[in-house]
Amino acid sequence: MSVTAAQKLQCIERELSYRRRVYARLVARGKMSELERIEEMRLMEAIRDDYRELVEAEAVPLFIETKRTVKQA
């Protein structure tokens, strides 16, 4: 079974939500610097944005122009 870009996007969205909570706690405990948190989130958000573009590119249009519809226009 192959994994679609839409499924990967859903997964990265969940992961970002999780990391926002966890990283905030790690920074508060001194286990991670604020700079590290910002950089990690920036990278993960870039991955999310890449998958958003892929999902949009794979989206099937609701209406497909055919010869008949183009001719009438």
Residue 70 clears pLDDT 90, i.e. is over it: no
Residue 55 clears pLDDT 70, i.e. is over it: yes
Q: Copy the structure tokens of residue 73.
A: 């226009």
Measured CA distances, 69 to 1, 33, 47, 64 (Å): 37, 58, 38, 9
Give residue 61's pLDDT band: very low, low, confident or very high (50, 70, 90).
low
**Residues 6 or more apart in contact with residue 27 via CB below 8 angstroms:** 33, 34, 37
**Whole-structure pTM value:** 0.72
